[in-house]
Amino acid sequence: MGEPDFPILAPGQLRPVADRPPGDTLDSLALYPVAGEPDWAADFPALWTPGEAGAEARLARFVAGPVSGYAAQRNDPGTDGTSGLSPHLHWGELSPRQVWHAVRQAQPGELSRSWPFLSEILWREFSYHLLWHRPELPECALRERFARFPWGRDAALLRAWQRGRTGYPVVDAGMRQLWRHGWMHNRVRMIAASLLVKHLLQPWQDGAAWFWDTLVDADLASNSASWQWVAGSGSDAAPYFRVFNPVLQGERI
């Protein structure tokens, strides 16, 4: 497999756009919590630094250490073994090519050394490929036989899952982390998603919508493709009969 080209250097300056239409200011979008209401983003600054500088600093930290143990540590939520780059990739503060070549420079030689991590970057790109060719991905099962699955919609069960009150420690810990920090370890995401879809029989679209509302790295392509993978209805999805046991998974991690 050929490797991607090096990213193009940033231009020294950008030419102004003629007849530029008026735009909105960030303040006018009212993105921050309203005064007097609960501050849902209070804990975010301790974990995330938006912008290119924050993205480059996080990438530098990852390639300086955790990338070397990624294959062994990526499934351990108690270890700082993942990159944490997904928000920066989603918002365009880093490009996949930047990440690819930074990792390759940190782990020169055979591609197999860095493949466990780089393959995840390619999976993100595959999700974009799916969304481009199947724009119904966020709402509709890609496999027709799942389109009329008899979900047991239950608002109380969905609410318990959203708030981390299912009674399964690993799921509840992950969902409460998501609510406070806007992030959840990928392994825990799979366990929590499996519980919602395959134990509680709630539609995967409801889980995808909650992740879309709460994740700082919420990405339409990756989020939708991942939920369809868990549900068994997507492209190259986990079999519908594969169920994550939330008790055994919690004991293993």
**pLDDT tens column, 7-40:** 887 788 888 877 777 788 878 888 777 777 778 7
Catalytic member of 56, 75, 115, 186: 186
Residue in 31, 44, 91 with CA at minimum distance from that of residue 219: 91
Can you give the pLDDT at residue 238?
A: 67
Q: Tens digits of per-residue pLDDT, 94-144? A: 999 999 999 999 988 888 889 999 999 999 999 999 999 999 999 999 998
Query: Does 144-252 carry CATH code 3.40.50.2300?
Result: no
In the annotation, is 210 catalytic? no
Mean of the per-residue pLDDT values for the chain? 90
Segments making up each domain of the chain, as ranges: 44-133, 144-252
Q: Quote the CA–CA distance of 119 and 5 in Å, as a whole number.
A: 16
Residue percentage of the chain with pLDDT more than 90: 61
Can you give the pLDDT at residue 111?
A: 87
Q: Tens digits of per-residue pLDDT, 186-222? A: 999 999 999 999 999 999 999 999 999 999 999 999 9
| pTM for this entry | 0.88
In the annotation, is 183 catalytic? no
| Count of Cβ atoms closer than 10 Å to residue 53 Cβ | 10
Catalytic member of 151, 179, 212, 245: 151
Can you give the pLDDT at residue 12?
A: 86
Catalytic member of 56, 75, 91, 123: 123
Q: Tens digits of per-residue pLDDT, 213-229? A: 999 999 999 999 999 99
Catalytic member of 48, 183, 204, 229: 204
In the annotation, is 223 catalytic? no
Catalytic member of 48, 100, 227, 229: 227
Catalytic member of 120, 179, 212, 245: 120
In the annotation, is 100 catalytic? no
In the annotation, is 179 catalytic? no
Query: With bands split at pLDDT 50, 70 and 90, how would you rate the model's confidence at 1?
Result: low
In the annotation, is 204 catalytic? yes
What CATH number does domain 44-133 carry, 1.10.1280.10, 3.30.70.890, 1.25.40.80, 3.40.50.300? 1.25.40.80
237 vs 55, higher pLDDT: 55
Main-chain phi, psi angles of 80, to 5 degrees:
-80, 70
